[in-house]
Structure 1
Amino acid sequence: MTPLTLQTPEEHPFAQFVRILGKGKRGARALTREEAREAMGMLLDGRVEDTQLGAFLMLLRHKEESPEELAGFTEALRERLRAPALAVDIDWPSYAGKKRHLPWFLLAAKCLAASGLKVFMHGGGAHTAGRLYTEQLLGPLGIPLCRDWAQAEHALANGGLAFMPLGDWAPALQRMIDLRNTLGLRSPIHSLARILNPLGARLGLQSIFHPGYQAVHREASQLLGDTAIVIKGDGGEIEANPDSPCHLYGTAAGLNWDEEWPALAAQRHVKPATLEPEQLLEVWRGEAEDSYGEKAVLATLALALRGLGRAREAAFAEAAALWQGRDRAAL
């Protein structure tokens, strides 16, 4: 009788990366930058099983991402982008949504664009209930919704401000973000999206809400050679909260720097009972006043200008001038 021959199944090429992250308390380790680049490349190219994707994302979430991993992931994406060479001043990721205050940062972005700067915004959709997302306010605020790079190029050239959904330029990453309700947790892609700077803007603004992650993102941007400022923005968006001190984690020309900005308000403002987007338009037009909102706009403007090289005092003075000189009839 011929003996039965058993064949051992060949291991999937991506299994090594799941094993590196999940090999127990003593055996697990972080990915190197090169390993992270290769792993993300396979994810972006669709060369993994869904079970591997879920395991990989949750193991990363449990471990917490390292600067080297974030840098490697970013490099993998940038290698695959087919974006035109556009001159962009500020990369502005908007992924968190707001739930306590209106998104006053959108008025700051409009002021910067009106001053002649090119601002590229991107976001990942309404993934969490009870939040107000940038995508919901593009029409009322006159911010162009761009579905491809040609539309983004046109918007930047003609108004200095463009918003492009992540799903239109990195659909594989959007799919990973959309797994939130399947996995029950946000994945590291929510953090990664903030560091991508797909058009190579000369300044990347990042808001990371959870303590400890700000320094990690700053280190990743330094590894990538980017100029960036990372803050703990209100609600996770790039918006300086005027009621609280704001710590700036900066990096430029390979050197890190830190600044602590004091609160602008003498006492905390009362949180609005509801978020009424019309209030943004009324404040912009000068038809209404909002102490919290206007201070948030000024501080956020100053934040961006600080990242572009102004000293703090000069940044606030220029921010005030931009706000006072805004075209109130534009909205």
Structure 2
Amino acid sequence: MAQSSEHHGEWPLKRLLTEVVGSGHKSADDMTRAQATEAFERILDDEPDHTTLGAFWLANRWKRNTPDELAAYIDTMADRSVEVATPDCDPVDCGANYDGKGRSAILGVGAGIVAAAAGTPVVTHSGDRVPTQKQDAYKHVLDELGVRTDLKPAESADMVDETGFGFYYQPNFNPGVAGLVERRDMMGVRTFVNTIETLANPAGADVHLGSFYHLPYAKRIIDTFAASERYEIPRVVMFQGMEGYDDIRPGSTTVAVGEGGELDDFEIKTDEYGMDFAEEDLEVDDVATDSAAITEAVLAGDREDRFADAIALNGAFRIYAREDCESLDEGLAMAREAIADGSAEAVLDELREF
């Protein structure tokens, strides 16, 4: 049941629709920071009528949110929903789309473990069958590998410190947003919540690694963190990912690095770093099961094929994101060595024992 709105301000979602965001993608106005903050506070309090909430989400999708609006959303999420548990190390925060992948292998578990074995701690986070795709994500690969995922935030932080790799489970660290899953499922399309949940940064990391389809989206995320009053993330590294995930796309790929609110972008050819194949060569039949089997075999040194090359390069990107190497070439050498000397397989063993 909707809660009373007496403790909110003067901008219920219906008024925002009528007077600000609801007139269409060309004529709609942007919200002020205060308006966007109040809107998301009301949403987290389950105050809006369900029809109004759906219309508000759709109007935001049509007009596209500004970095200031997104910053208001993530700051409200941080204040009202996110429980941060910061490990002693300073990991790379990997924020892949929570609604998962449906065609290609999820490489981020293997890549994160390889990076951890090379000395770069990595944090991942996801929910469980999040709308709209409700497909396999980090959690499901880890489940298949026999790694615990239903962890309290403090346990997740301990996992990072003990193994170098950690997983944070959305219902436990971000329950307010996780509680919106039924309403989101009824929408049938993605909403701005799909964007902001990936930016929750439950480990309080100084580096965020993410992905994009088009460069303007990367710029929007970098500007969002710069406009945030609750998140101080000095370095944001993003690349063009497969299926919107944080697995680098084979071929010609744009990389964007944001520091101090400024963006530097450059292009790489993945065939120069061992990924001399097409995206469809990384497709699998069962994403969670096959990704887990591929990860286990690569970390054990039993595969030296395209999946091993892809995991190594994605591991190198995590090392590069944290500036633990001078170049991607150096990061790639570190990643391959972590596999060859058994360090990566040892991290997986530690995760299973945690």
Instruction: Give the alignment's TM-score, normalised by structure 1.
Output: 0.85
Maintained 8 Å contact 2:41/2:76: yes
Maintained 8 Å contact 2:120/2:322: no
Q: Give the Cα separation in 2 of the matches to 1:209 and 1:188.
A: 16
State whether structure 2 residue 248 is matched by structure 1 residue 240. yes
Segment drifting more, 52-61 vs 278-287: 278-287
SS of equivalent residue, structure 1 residue 186? coil
Q: Residue 215 of structure 1: CA displacement?
A: 2.3
Q: Residue 240 of structure 1: CA displacement?
A: 1.1
SS of equivalent residue, structure 1 residue 289? coil
Q: Give the Cα separation in 1 of the matches to 2:299 and 2:220.
A: 35
Corresponding residue pairs, total: 319
Q: Give the Cα separation in 2 of the matches to 1:78 and 1:28.
A: 27
* Structure 2 counterpart of 1:328: 345
Q: Residue 213 of structure 1: CA displacement?
A: 2.1
Q: Residue 27 of structure 1: CA displacement?
A: 5.3
- Against the structure 1 CA distance between its residues 78 and 181, is the aligned structure 2 distance closer, same or farther, given a 3 Å change threshold? closer
Q: Give the Cα separation in 1 of the matches to 2:84 and 2:277.
A: 45
Q: Give the Cα separation in 2 of the matches to 1:188 and 1:17.
A: 16
State whether structure 2 residue 318 is matched by structure 1 residue 317. no
Q: How does 1:1-331 map to 2 (within 5 A)?
A: 13-19=12-18, 20-24=20-24, 28-80=28-80, 81-87=82-88, 88-94=90-96, 95-127=98-130, 131-209=135-213, 212-224=216-228, 225-226=232-233, 227-241=235-249, 243-264=250-271, 265-268=275-278, 270-272=281-283, 274-275=285-286, 276=290, 277-291=292-306, 293-309=307-323, 310-312=325-327, 313-325=329-341, 326-328=343-345, 330-331=348-349
Uncovered stretches (5+) of structure 1, i.e. residues with no partner: 1-10
Measured against aligned partners, the alpha-carbon deviations of 1:65-124 in whole angstroms (never above 9, x if no partner) come to 221111111111112334344444211223142223211221011122334443222112
Q: Give the Cα separation in 2 of the matches to 1:111 and 1:202.
A: 20
Maintained 8 Å contact 2:91/2:207: yes
Uncovered stretches (5+) of structure 2, i.e. residues with no partner: 1-9, 350-354
- Against the structure 1 CA distance between its residues 136 and 206, is the aligned structure 2 distance closer, same or farther, given a 3 Å change threshold? same
Read off the aligned partner of 2:107 and give its amino acid letter: W
Read off the aligned partner of 1:161 and give its amino acid letter: F
Q: Give the Cα separation in 2 of the matches to 1:42 and 1:289.
A: 51
Read off the aligned partner of 1:104 and give its amino acid letter: L
Larger Rg: 1
Maintained 8 Å contact 1:37/1:73: yes
- Against the structure 1 CA distance between its residues 107 and 267, is the aligned structure 2 distance closer, same or farther, given a 3 Å change threshold? closer
SS of equivalent residue, structure 1 residue 256? strand
- Against the structure 1 CA distance between its residues 83 and 327, is the aligned structure 2 distance closer, same or farther, given a 3 Å change threshold? closer
Maintained 8 Å contact 1:145/1:163: yes
- Against the structure 1 CA distance between its residues 173 and 45, is the aligned structure 2 distance closer, same or farther, given a 3 Å change threshold? same
SS of equivalent residue, structure 1 residue 145? coil
SS of equivalent residue, structure 1 residue 156? helix
SS of equivalent residue, structure 2 residue 256? strand
RMSD (Å) for aligned C-alpha atoms: 2.7
* Structure 1 counterpart of 2:4: none
SS of equivalent residue, structure 1 residue 193? helix
SS of equivalent residue, structure 1 residue 155? helix
SS of equivalent residue, structure 1 residue 222? helix
Q: Give the Cα separation in 2 of the matches to 1:130 and 1:197.
A: 21
Q: Give the Cα separation in 1 of the matches to 2:266 and 2:58.
A: 33
Maintained 8 Å contact 1:177/1:186: no
Q: Give the Cα separation in 2 of the matches to 1:267 and 1:177.
A: 37
SS of equivalent residue, structure 2 residue 303? coil
